[in-house]
Amino acid sequence: MSTLLDALKSKRRLLTGEGVPDSMISEAEKMLGLIFSDEYREYLKEFGIAAYSGHELTGITRSPRLNVVSVTLAERERRADAPRNLYVVERTNVEEIIVWQGESGELYYSSPNHPLEKFCDSLSEYVRGGS
Domains of the chain: 4-128 (3.40.1580.10)
The confidence score (pLDDT) of residue 123 equals 97
Residue 105: how many other CB atoms lie within 10 Å: 18
Give the pTM.
0.93
The confidence score (pLDDT) of residue 131 equals 43
Q: Give the CA distances from residue 67 to residues 59, 63, 119, in Å, rounded to whole numbers and listed in that order.
A: 5, 6, 23
Query: Consecutive 10-residue runs of the chain (131 residues): their mean pLDDT?
Result: 85 95 98 98 97 96 97 93 93 92 96 91 90 43
The confidence score (pLDDT) of residue 42 equals 97
In angstroms, the CA 57 to CA 129 distance is 14
The confidence score (pLDDT) of residue 2 equals 56
